[in-house]
Each structure stands twice: as structure tokens, then as C-alpha cells.
């Protein structure tokens, strides 16, 4: 009778790995349920080991039998582990979208109001962040994984929540560590798109309140991109200009608006013909000048408004309604602060005329855009 050695055996292993999503505490271990049957057999002639791994898993109501994950990747039903997690992450976010949109009213997102305080993970951003951490732990995360989380934080915007140490935080408070993590995880090979998502979060949360300095952090990230050979895009400069503009304090000094202008200039240098992005950037900078109470501030505001009107005049295919009611309101505010009631009055009637032409050109079934309708605001110097 042949004697078996320690190399001659047949292992039959049933692996039952519970991947579950806890509805209240966020992500527990990994998404969905996965039952794997795995057998290892020793070939004594070559002393090598072969592995056959079979999985059955339901995704979106459809059951997939993946076959041999290691060797049978040509199977039409094969979905790699990273893609599976991404499917689950996007499903979580999509399932919360309608509820989040309903709760995030325009008043909550209006920058003139303090942002609301979330009392639950209503948009799924916390859960997908936990899913990211698990994917990192088991080595299946990639740059797209981080992008899904960063995009979720962008959509959360200015809304705040209570962090683990009982302090009130917003998305910008966790982006710095998240970016450092992806930088290390990807061995410093980070794309412009990932950087832009982080910059967008800083811009969305930027505020003159509380000395949070999100604009400085956005600028530092942009500078680091260039130092590390990551080419900034026109969106990169727009987000940083936005961050500086929204950090400009009312009746404050001009440091923030000048930094916004600096990034606007860089934006013009790399893409002078991207009219949609230019209009949006000009709109941000115009708002910043409206907050500065210095003698030349109204002139700068007027310059920016005129640039916006020129773009609108030469490009008839624009989808953005800029300059709009808010643009003119900011320009009027700048002149009001300089005690120039005549110029403010002139701009008011100019916009009323502009709005009447806009209404005249609407089709019968078109609705009036909310950002075009003149606001009733009392100005004081």
C-alpha cells in the first residue's frame, strides 16, 4: 500500500464569507453575500498547487455564477471583485438619491444660510466611505473607488454632520486625509480627475466663517499637483477660484478676491475659449468683489460683469444663464457699498430690461429659470 506524505492530500474547503451592509452603522465587512467553494489539490509530480474558486452571487436581482475566478476570466458573466464593490457602492448612492434630493432643499444649500446638520447618512456617503476602507484593507481598491467616495462628498456639499469625536464637520474636513491616503495607496500616481474632485469639495465647503481656510488647502493641493507633475485642468483653476471667492468675507480685505483673480488668470491662459467654464469662474469672482469695501472694488466688479456680457453676446449656444439675477445683484451691491446709487440704479434697470428680453424669447411651454427672476433686495451702504 502506498504511504501518503504530507505533500499528498486533498483539501476540500468550504469558505463562507459574510459580506453585509448594516443599515444603521454603515459598512460592516464587505458588500452583499458571497459563498465560495474552493478546493486545493497537490500535484506530487510537480509539487505545485492548483486552485478552483467558484462563486455564486446576486447583483441587482440577477444571480451570477462566476466559475473559475482565477483562470476563467473569459466567462461572459465574470465580474472581478473590485467591480462588484463598485456596483454595490453606486447602488447604495442611487438608492438614497431621491430622499437626499428631497431633504436638501434650495434653502439648505443657499450660501446665504447656514448649512443644515445631518442626523443620518441620508445620501450614503458615510457608507461608501466605510466600503472604501474595507476594500483598501483587502487590497481590491483602486483610484475609481476613491473617486466614487469623493464624488459622493461633492454631492453632499455644504451639509454638516457630527463626526466620531462629537465635533461638527463637513466634507472638506475629511478630504485632506482621504487625498493623502489615495496618494500613498496609488504610489503617488493620482489623476487630475481625482485631484479635481478633492478641489471641488474644498470649493463647496469654503466659507469665511470659523477660519477654516479651505481655500488655502485647495490652493496648496493645486500647487502640489503642479510640483508633482499632475497637469491641472481648467476645472482645477475654476474650483480653486471658487474656493477663494466664497472665502471672501463681507467688508473684509482683498486677499481672497485677489487669489481668486490669480486663478482666473491661469484659467484664461490655458483655455481662453471655454466660455461655459469662464462664465462660471467670472461669476464666482464677481461675488467676491461685491464683498470688498474698497474704492476700486466696484470698478473690478463692473469689469467682470462686462466680460460676462461679452461672452454671452458672442456665444449664442451657451447653456448657462449667466450673467443672471445674482450676477447683477452682486454688481449692484458693490456700487452700493461705494455710495454710487446712480450706477446701482442703472444696473438695476439694465437687468430688468435683460429679464424682459429673456421672457420674450421663451417658448410657450418653457418655464422661467429661478436664477433669472429678479430678487427683491434692499441695499444699504
| CA 336/CA 246 separation, integer angstroms | 20
Helix, strand or coil, per DSSP, at residue 295 = coil
The CA dihedral of 217, 222, 225, 230, to the nearest 10 degrees, is 140
Best mean pLDDT range from 52-61, 246-255, 256-265: 256-265
Q: Are 291 and 251 in contact (CB under 8 A)?
A: yes
- Is 174 inside any structural domain? no
Average pLDDT, integer, range 8-14: 30
Judge whether residue 234 has pLDDT over 70.
Answer: yes
In the prediction, which pLDDT does 367 show?
77
Helix, strand or coil, per DSSP, at residue 208 = coil
pLDDT higher at 47 or 266: 266
- Is 295 inside any structural domain? yes
Alpha helices in the chain (DSSP H): 81-103, 106-109, 125-138, 143-156, 172-185, 192-205, 214-227, 234-247, 255-270, 275-290, 297-314, 325-337, 341-360
Q: Are 372 and 321 in contact (CB under 8 A)?
A: yes
Judge whether residue 129 has pLDDT over 90.
Answer: yes
Judge whether residue 25 has pLDDT over 90.
Answer: no
Closest by Cα among 267, 269, 210, 274 to 242: 267
- Is 232 inside any structural domain? no
| CA 297/CA 308 separation, integer angstroms | 17
Closest by Cα among 27, 20, 19 to 124: 27
Pairing state between β 48-59 and 62-65:
antiparallel
Judge whether residue 7 has pLDDT over 50.
Answer: no
Judge whether residue 348 has pLDDT over 70.
Answer: yes
Average pLDDT of the residues of the chain: 80
Burial call 182-214: b when 16+ CB within 10 Å, e when fewer:
bbebeeeebeeebbbbbbbbbbbbbbeeeebeb
Judge whether residue 126 has pLDDT over 80.
Answer: yes
> Which of the four pLDDT bands, split at 50, 70 and 90, describes residue 76?
low
Average pLDDT, integer, range 260-282: 95
Query: Alpha-carbon Rg of the chain, whole angstroms?
Result: 27
- Is 114 inside any structural domain? no
Percentage of the chain beyond pLDDT 70 is 75
- Is 129 inside any structural domain? no
Q: For helices 172-185 and 125-138, what crossing angle results, to 10°?
A: 20
When divided into structural domains, the chain yields a total of 1
pLDDT higher at 38 or 148: 148
Q: Residue 374 is part of which domain span?
A: 274-381
- Is 367 inside any structural domain? yes
CA-based angle 258:216:194, to the nearest 5?
115
Judge whether residue 22 has pLDDT over 70.
Answer: no
- Is 329 inside any structural domain? yes
In the prediction, which pLDDT does 375 show?
67
Helix, strand or coil, per DSSP, at residue 346 = helix
pLDDT higher at 36 or 210: 210
Q: Which residues pair with 79 in a beta bridge?
A: none
In the prediction, which pLDDT does 20 show?
40
- Is 378 inside any structural domain? yes
Cβ atoms within 10 Å, residue 4 = 10
In the prediction, which pLDDT does 240 show?
98
pLDDT tens for residues 86-110?
999 999 999 999 888 776 654 455 6
Asked, as a colleague might, if the bond just before 87 is cis with ω within 30 of 0, I would say: no
| CA 273/CA 249 separation, integer angstroms | 31
Task: Report DSSP state, residue 48.
Answer: E
pLDDT tens for residues 237-256?
999 999 999 999 998 889 99
pLDDT tens for residues 322-347?
999 999 999 999 999 888 889 999 99
Q: Which residues pair with 160 in a beta bridge?
A: 117, 170
pLDDT tens for residues 153-191?
999 999 999 988 889 999 999 999 999 999 999 998 999
The x, y and z cell numbers of residue 165, run together, are 469625536
Amino acid at each position: 500500500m502506498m504511504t501518503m506524505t504530507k505533500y499528498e492530500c486533498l483539501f476540500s474547503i468550504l469558505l463562507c464569507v459574510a459580506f453585509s451592509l448594516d443599515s444603521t452603522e454603515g459598512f460592516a465587512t464587505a458588500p452583499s453575500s458571497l459563498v465560495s467553494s474552493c478546493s486545493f489539490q497537490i500535484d506530487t509530480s510537480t509539487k505545485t498547487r492548483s486552485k478552483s474558486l467558484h462563486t455564486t452571487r446576486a447583483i441587482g436581482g440577477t444571480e451570477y455564477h462566476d466559475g473559475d475566478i482565477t483562470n476563467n476570466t473569459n466567462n461572459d458573466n465574470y465580474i472581478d471583485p473590485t467591480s462588484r464593490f463598485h456596483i454595490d457602492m453606486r447602488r447604495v448612492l442611487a438608492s438614497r438619491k431621491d430622499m437626499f434630493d428631497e431633504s436638501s432643499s434650495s434653502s439648505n444649500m443657499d450660501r446665504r444660510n447656514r448649512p443644515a446638520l445631518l442626523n443620518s447618512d441620508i445620501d450614503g456617503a458615510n457608507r461608501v466611505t466605510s466600503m472604501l476602507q474595507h476594500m483598501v484593507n483587502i487590497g481590491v481598491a483602486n483610484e475609481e473607488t476613491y473617486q466614487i467616495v469623493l464624488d459622493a462628498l461633492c454631492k453632499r456639499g455644504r451639509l454638516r454632520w457630527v463626526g466620531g469625536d462629537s465635533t461638527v464637520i463637513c466634507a472638506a474636513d475629511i478630504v485632506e486625509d482621504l487625498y493623502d491616503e489615495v496618494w500613498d495607496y496609488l504610489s503617488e500616481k493620482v489623476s487630475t480627475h481625482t485631484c479635481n474632485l478633492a478641489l471641488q469639495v474644498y470649493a463647496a465647503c469654503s466659507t469665511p466663517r470659523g477660519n477654516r481656510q479651505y481655500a488655502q488647502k485647495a490652493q496648496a493641493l493645486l500647487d502640489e499637483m503642479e510640483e508633482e507633475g499632475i497637469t491641472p485642468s481648467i476645472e482645477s483653476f475654476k474650483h480653486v477660484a471658487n474656493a477663494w471667492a466664497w472665502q471672501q468675507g463681507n467688508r473684509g480685505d482683498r486677499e481672497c478676491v485677489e487669489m481668486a483673480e490669480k486663478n482666473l488668470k491661469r484659467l484664461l491662459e490655458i483655455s481662453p475659449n471655454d466660455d461655459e467654464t469662464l462664465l462660471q469662474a467670472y461669476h464666482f469672482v464677481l461675488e467676491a468683489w461685491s464683498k470688498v469695501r474698497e474704492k476700486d472694488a466696484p470698478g473690478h466688479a463692473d469689469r467682470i460683469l462686462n466680460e460676462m456680457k461679452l461672452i454671452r453676446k458672442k456665444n449664442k449656444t451657451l447653456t448657462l444663464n449667466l450673467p443672471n439675477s445674482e450676477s447683477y445683484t452682486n454688481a449692484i451691491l458693490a456700487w452700493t457699498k461705494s455710495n454710487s446709487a446712480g450706477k446701482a440704479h442703472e444696473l438695476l434697470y439694465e437687468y430688468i430690461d435683460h429679464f424682459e428680453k429673456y421672457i420674450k424669447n421663451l417658448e410657450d411651454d418653457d418655464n422661467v429659470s429661478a436664477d433669472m427672476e429678479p430678487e427683491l433686495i434692499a441695499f444699504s451702504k
